[in-house]
Amino acid sequence: MLDSTLIKFGLITSLAGIYILLTFTEIQAEKKYINEITEKQIDKRIKIFGYVDNVKYTDKTSIIKVRDLTGRMNIISFKKISPKKGSLLQIEGKVAKYNNELEILANNIILY
Amino acid sequence: MLSLIIPIILGTITGMITGLTPGIHINLVNVIIISLLPFLTKISSPLQIICFIISMSIIHTFLDFIPSTFLGVPDTETSLSLLPMHRMLLDGKGYEAVLLSIIGSLFGLILIIILTLPIILTLKKIYPLIENYIPHILLISITFLLIREKKSKIISLFIFLLSGILGIAVLNLNVPQPLFPLFSGLFGTSMLIISIKNKVKISRQLKTFPSLKIITTTKTLLSGIIASFMTGTLPGLGATQAAIISSSFSKIKEKYFILLTGAIGTIIMYLSVLTLFSINRSRSGSVVAISKIIQSITKNDLIVIISITLITAGIAVILALKISEIFSLLISKVNYNKLCIAIIIFITTLVTIISGFQGLIILITATFIGIITQIKEIPKNYLMGSLILPILLFFTL
């Protein structure tokens, strides 16, 4: 196989990657206030900032109630985390609905 | 898309540095990333950091064959234990050797990306069943490697145990980056010292191209995927073991063996991402870093990772071809002995800075074990005892 053929294959591979990236992915999570999150956002990636109200734990999850200026919402984390009450969090995750209530399944939580 | 361009460029540059500099592994960068995470997450998004790590890792796996082909060349007298790439370099076919590894890396990667879904399903179903049998699988793998060894079974076992004892000692010491001096000594400086001793001279390099059969190439790549799946999902086993297991499925020619080793390094890197996605286990330094950044990999993250992998694989092909062209032009012109001495001094300095005085002792000890392995013409995969033995003890004691 010639190197020119290999370069062509390389370019096709890169172009395929760019196409998949532009077509099938959401690169940046949209920043939202809690009251802006509606059922339309279910399964979408969003980012919110909020203060911790309280934290509860189940066997496999940490359920963090956060609030911002506009409302309150449950954040579900599949890792045990224990932020202090009143601390500021940046949460990125997917919107989901559980027991008729909207919540965020956290993919990433940053403690400020 | 625009927000990911800078991480891809930075990852490409870093991957070039780690891939082309002997002794510098991407895990060193991954450790730096993890220690800087509180700062990095404030100036960039988690996805941007992941993009950087993936770009760096993919570029690294494509380029790391260049220094091992052109810089770590033992003499023809020890040819039994030489990797075929080194033999091709001594024949003046270093460029073709790198070309074969690039073909393996690119098409192996494309093939495993196509097989992503069945692999995820298999991992989810099979891993919970084999998790408790990991030490047994490791033992069977080692026995398999020893049985396959045609000569010096006892010396091979001795080398395996010796490097294993060193591995246990090193991993129990409080040394920063303990694996860096360990692997630099076992695989890097030992080979360079033998090259100096044997006064290796590199002949003029020719630009030759391989002729490959599509069916044999596909079969080789598929066997590489199966072997990578067997070793990549288990701790302690890696690319070398996968290559040995894979090549034992059927007798393969030298050029297909190079293709296979090229493919396996890249396949294992991608497979470790799938392992994190499907069973939440980290099997490579890069994936450990990713797991510290995000709590879990979502489907969206996985598709972004696949895209970045494809984009950087294309960039890596062009870079690897151009850089190996430059290397093949320069390698016969430079004084190879002086180059080896310079690399040894560089690695020693780096080890002293990163791992301190204890690191230097590890480097010297590991170098001696590496030298014994070469003198006795034992394949270098037995040196992986330095990782396998500590893991076996961890699971069994």
Helical packing angle, B254-279 and B214-232, nearest 10°? 40
Is the CB of B313 less than 8 angstroms away from the CB of A17? yes
Residue position matching structure tokens 């919107």: A95
Phi first, then psi: what are they for B111, rounded to 5°?
Answer: -65, -45
Per-residue pLDDT tens digits for A67-108: 998 999 999 988 788 888 888 988 888 898 888 889 998 888
Quick one: which of B30, B19, B29, B114 has its CA closest to B309?
B114
Chain A residue with the nearest C-alpha to that of B291 = A108
Q: Give every residue of chain B whose pLDDT is below 50, as ranges.
A: 73-81
Q: Which pLDDT does position B322 carry in this prediction?
A: 93
- Of B1, B4, B106, Cβ closest to residue A10: B106
Residue position matching structure tokens 């129990």: B172
Q: How far apart are CA A28 and CA A25, in angstroms?
A: 9
Q: How far is B315 from chain A (nearest CA, A)?
A: 7
DSSP secondary structure string, chain A? Answer: --HHHHHHHHHHHHHHHHHHHHHH---SPEE--GGG--GGGBT-EEEEEEEEEEEEE-SS-EEEEEE-SS-EEEEEESS---PPTT-EEEEEEEEEEETTEEEEEEEEEEE-
Q: Which pLDDT does position B79 carry in this prediction?
A: 37
What is the pLDDT averaged over residues A4-31?
A: 86
Q: Of A2, A3, A89, which to mutate for an interface test with B (greatest number of B Cβ within 10 Å)?
A: A3
Q: Which pLDDT does position B281 carry in this prediction?
A: 76
Number of A:B CB contacts under 8 A?
110
Q: At residue A12, does pLDDT exceed 90?
A: yes
- Of B99, B298, B311, Cβ closest to residue A17: B311
**Numbered residues of chain B with Cβ closer than 8 Å to any chain A Cβ:** 1, 3-4, 41-42, 45-47, 99, 102-103, 106-107, 110, 209-212, 293-296, 298, 300-301, 303-304, 306-318, 321
| Chain B residues lying within 8 Å of A78, measured CB to CB | 295-296
CB B297 within 8 A of CB B50: no
Q: How far apart are CA B303 and CA B129, in angstroms?
A: 27
Q: Which pLDDT does position B138 carry in this prediction?
A: 66
Q: Which pLDDT does position B320 carry in this prediction?
A: 94
CB B338 within 8 A of CB A39: no
Is the CB of A10 less than 8 angstroms away from the CB of B99? no
- Of A3, A10, A79, Cβ closest to residue B295: A79
| Chain B residues lying within 8 Å of A18, measured CB to CB | 1, 307, 311
Q: Which pLDDT does position B142 carry in this prediction?
A: 67
Would you state the structure tokens that stand for residue B329, as one six-digit string?
């032009």
Q: Which pLDDT does position A3 carry in this prediction?
A: 81
Q: Of A14, A47, A109, which to mutate for an interface test with B (greatest number of B Cβ within 10 Å)?
A: A14
- Of B211, B293, B304, Cβ closest to residue A25: B304
Quick one: which of B130, B78, B124 has its CA closest to B237?
B130
Q: What is the DSSP letter of B185?
A: I
Q: What is the DSSP letter of B234?
A: S
Quick one: which of B340, B355, B274, B345 has its CA closest to B74?
B340
| Chain B residues lying within 8 Å of A49, measured CB to CB | none
**Numbered residues of chain A with Cβ closer than 8 Å to any chain B Cβ:** 1-3, 6-7, 9-18, 20-22, 24-29, 45, 77-79, 92, 94, 106-110
Q: Which pLDDT does position B22 carry in this prediction?
A: 66
Whether this model's pTM surpasses 0.95? no
Q: How far is A84 from chain B (nearest CA, A)?
A: 18
Widest CA span in chain B: 57
Q: Which pLDDT does position B240 carry in this prediction?
A: 62
CB B95 within 8 A of CB B206: yes
Q: Which residues contact B132 (CB under 8 A, 6 or more apart)?
A: none
The neighbour count for residue B203, using CB atoms within 10 Å, is: 13
Per-residue pLDDT tens digits for B170-208: 888 888 878 778 888 887 788 888 888 887 777 788 888
Is the CB of A17 less than 8 angstroms away from the CB of B3? no
Is the CB of A20 less than 8 angstroms away from the CB of B41? no
Is the CB of A13 less than 8 angstroms away from the CB of B103? no
- The mean pLDDT value of chain A amounts to 87
Is the CB of B317 less than 8 angstroms away from the CB of A13? yes
- Of A13, A27, A92, Cβ closest to residue B314: A13
Q: Which pLDDT does position B251 carry in this prediction?
A: 62
CB A25 within 8 A of CB B50: no
Quick one: which of B44, B50, B81, B71 has its CA closest to B200?
B71
Is the CB of B307 less than 8 angstroms away from the CB of A28? no
DSSP secondary structure string, B369-380? Answer: HHHHHHHTT--G
DSSP secondary structure string, B110-167? Answer: HHHHHTHHHHHHHHHHHHHHHGGGHHHHHHHHHHHHHHH--S-HHHHHHHHHHHHHHH
Q: How far is A19 from chain B (nearest CA, A)?
A: 8
Residue position matching structure tokens 């286990």: B281
Give the ipTM of the model, two decimals please.
0.76
Quick one: which of B236, B257, B250, B245 has its CA closest to B147?
B245
Q: Of B51, B307, B326, which to mutate for an interface test with A (greatest number of A Cβ within 10 Å)?
A: B307
Q: Which pLDDT does position B246 carry in this prediction?
A: 65
Per-residue pLDDT tens digits for B2-22: 678 899 999 999 999 988 876
